[in-house]
């Protein structure tokens, strides 16, 4: 059922509970384009983290040349400009697609083992390419930093940005 809505990046091994949460989130957002599901690795979350995008997915759903891609969280105005690079022919790993994650990971407290759903956005009027990133944190609960949602909590994080989220006790799961 998940393959109807999303594509999993290489080395993305989800538990059945994580798959259920991803499916529930994907059904809620109802993407127009298949989302890319990534289990974040150490190489993705370090300071100069990059994400290798599967060639087949990138060819179908992403720009055909190197460019800047704007990452954003759902219902947020802020965007993070990230560099999308395609290795030229004649080089090792020709055609490999990398997305430099810049400050996105740091600003949003994304950690190794957490799951990100990258949703390409369709907007013919804009000349820039945008992806909405939906976060499923290690405990499997979706949230946007600094925001309470109807399907999860911030699990007691203590950053200043999250102060308003900590006013309420965390919930422990998704509604049935």
30: domain CATH number is 2.40.330.10
pTM: 0.74
- Assess if residue 92 is contained within a domain: yes
Q: How far is it, in rounded angstroms, from Cα 21 to Cα 31?
A: 15
Number of domains in the chain: 1
- Assess if residue 172 is contained within a domain: no
Sheet with 97-100: list strands edge to edge.
6-8, 35-39, 115-120, 129-136, 67-72, 79-86, 97-100, 50-53
- Assess if residue 98 is contained within a domain: yes
| pLDDT digits 0-9 by tens, 43-58 | 999 888 899 998 889 9
| pLDDT digits 0-9 by tens, 74-105 | 988 899 999 999 998 888 888 889 999 989 99
- Assess if residue 173 is contained within a domain: no
- Assess if residue 67 is contained within a domain: yes
Beta bridge partners of 119: 132
- Assess if residue 135 is contained within a domain: yes
Beta bridge partners of 93: none
Domain that holds residue 46: 2-167
């Amino acid at each position: 059922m998940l393959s109807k809505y999303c594509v999993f990046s290489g080395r993305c091994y989800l538990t059945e509970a994580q798959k259920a949460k991803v499916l529930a989130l994907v059904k809620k957002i109802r993407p127009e384009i298949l989302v890319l599901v990534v289990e974040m690795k150490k190489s993705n979350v370090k300071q100069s983290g990059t994400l290798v995008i599967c060639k087949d997915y990138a060819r179908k759903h992403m720009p055909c040349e190197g460019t800047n891609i704007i990452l954003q969280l759902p219902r947020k105005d802020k965007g993070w400009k990230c560099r999308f690079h395609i290795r030229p022919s004649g080089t090792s790993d020709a055609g490999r697609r990398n997305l430099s994650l810049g400050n996105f990971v740091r600003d949003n407290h994304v950690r190794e083992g957490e799951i990100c759903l990258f949703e390409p956005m369709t907007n013919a009027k804009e000349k820039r390419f945008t992806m909405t990133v939906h976060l499923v944190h290690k405990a499997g609960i979706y949230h946007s930093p600094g925001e309470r949602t109807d399907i999860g909590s911030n699990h007691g994080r203590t950053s200043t940005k999250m102060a308003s989220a900590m006013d309420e006790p965390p919930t422990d799961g998704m509604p049935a």
